[in-house]
Structure 1
Amino acid sequence: MKIKINGINLNYEKIGQGYPLIMLHGNNQSLKIYKKLARKLKRYFTIYLIDSRNHGKSDYSEEFSYEIMADDVKNFVEKLNLENPNIIGFSDGAIVATITEIKYPKTFNKMALLGINLSPRDILHKEYIKTKILSKIIKSKKIKLMLNEPNITAEELSKIKAKMLFVKAENDIFKEEMYEKIKKSCKDAKFLTITGHNHSSYINNEDIIYKDLLEFFYEGDINDNRSKWDKFKL
């Protein structure tokens, strides 16, 4: 489906039933990365899989930044009258989700932030150099974006009131100091490390963290209603 947002057409798919859940993909990807995970989650959520602008089947525009994509998400939520949805964001999607909540507090209920970085300086040196070389060869706006943005401060992160789950891979592309900074800024957040995986291998058409996500999103219900959690375990 297509929806007119901020002067462009955003492509999205709506599946499932239950509490609203938005899913945002990473750089140079599309909503297709979530197909396997979404097939399981749709039993418990009404899922909105979105192709970010300049990705997938959404329109392409000259204007392109994480803040613009955050505005897209906020307007998407408003246009569809989604009340305090949950969100899953991977990599760029996690950045967009975070900036949305910083700019527009109380947009989200719970946020699962997978493979996020707060700044290009958080990227491991060898990975940053690879990205820089690739940018010179391909001349892509998407790659250039990663070299210049985001610029999220620890103070901005600490002001987020939504419940947050931070997920990283054991062999991720970011410096460990960044995660320590996040832990100090977000004392009530939950953290999960996926062993044996790289930046995208646990999420790209995978459902490896399916149960972890359910436990996070339904934590209160699990404590109040054990039978509901037993159903999730099936």
Structure 2
Amino acid sequence: MIVSVNNIKLNFEKSGNGQALILLHGNGEDNKIFDKAIPILEKHFTVYAIDLRGHGSSEEIKEYHYLDMVEDIKEFIISENIAGPIVYGFSDGGIIALLLASMYPKLLSKIIVSGANINPKGLKAKWIILFKVMYLIKKDSKVKMMLEEPNISIEMLNKIEIPTVVLVGSRDVIKENHTKLIVDNIKNCKLQILDGEDHGSYIIHNGKIANIILENT
């Protein structure tokens, strides 16, 4: 399905019944990464799996910025008349969820985020080096965004009042102390460290994330 929001055309898939659950993928992916999770989740929720701008079947763009994506999802929620959705976001999707909850505190009912960072320094050093090399070779603006953004302040985290769950793999690309910084600065926040998992091993084409979402809702 296609919807026009914030001067961009977004593709999304809708299925199931119940409370609204919005799924947001990571950088360079699309909603198909949730193919194993959606059949489980749609038994409990009305699931909206969105392709972020410039990803999947959504409209192509030249420059990528997290704040643009935040406005896309805000307008999507309003245009689809979705009341108090839960938002689950992986990686970039988690960044967007944090920003949404901070900037529009009355819009959502809960966020669950996996492998999110509030600034590029939250990435482990070897990954920053890898992304810099990737950008030098490919000049991919999606990679450029990860190297320069987001810029979420502690004050912004303090504004998040809805229940929040932060997930991170024990072998994630995000620094452990960075994840704890996020958790410590959100009022109603729970941290869950997934032993043996990396950044996306329990999410991408994997039903584990569905069961984790159900356990936390």
After TM superposition, the score normalised by the length of structure 2 is 0.97
**Equivalent residue number for residue 156 of structure 2:** 156
Q: Secondary structure of 1:197's partner?
A: strand
Larger RCO: Structure 1 or Structure 2 (Cα < 8 Å, ≥ 6 residues apart)?
2
Q: Deviations over 1:167-209 (max 9, x none)?
A: 0001001112212212321243111111112111110010113
Alignment of 1:1-234 (within 5 A): 1-217=1-217
Provide the C-alpha distance between the structure 2 equivalents of 1:152 and 1:196, rounded to a whole number of angstroms.
28
Q: Which structure: greater helix fraction?
A: 1
Q: Identity rate of aligned residues, in percent?
A: 37
Letter in 2 for 1:43: K
Provide the C-alpha distance between the structure 2 equivalents of 1:120 and 1:61, rounded to a whole number of angstroms.
22
In terms of Rg, which structure is larger?
1
Contact 2:36 2:207 in 1 (8 A): yes
Q: Secondary structure of 1:205's partner?
A: coil
Letter in 2 for 1:37: A
Q: Secondary structure of 1:144's partner?
A: helix
Shift of 1:71: 0.1
Letter in 1 for 2:86: N
Gaps in structure 1 of 5+ consecutive residues? 218-234
Q: Report the RMSD for the aligned CA atoms in angstroms.
A: 1.1
Provide the C-alpha distance between the structure 1 equivalents of 2:188 and 2:109, rounded to a whole number of angstroms.
14
Gaps in structure 2 of 5+ consecutive residues? none
Contact 2:160 2:187 in 1 (8 A): no
Q: Deviations over 1:55-90 (max 9, x none)?
A: 000001234200000000000000000011011000
Per mean C-alpha deviation after superposition, the further-off stretch among 16-25 and 149-158 is: 149-158
Shift of 1:7: 1.4
Q: Deviations over 1:12-41 (max 9, x none)?
A: 000011001100000000000011111101
Contact 2:166 2:183 in 1 (8 A): no
Q: Deviations over 1:81-126 (max 9, x none)?
A: 0011011000000111111222222211010101101100111111
After TM superposition, the score normalised by the length of structure 1 is 0.90
Per mean C-alpha deviation after superposition, the further-off stretch among 146-155 and 70-79 is: 146-155
Provide the C-alpha distance between the structure 2 equivalents of 1:39 and 1:114, rounded to a whole number of angstroms.
20
Per mean C-alpha deviation after superposition, the further-off stretch among 128-137 and 96-105 is: 96-105
Provide the C-alpha distance between the structure 2 equivalents of 1:37 and 1:189, rounded to a whole number of angstroms.
23
Letter in 2 for 1:69: M
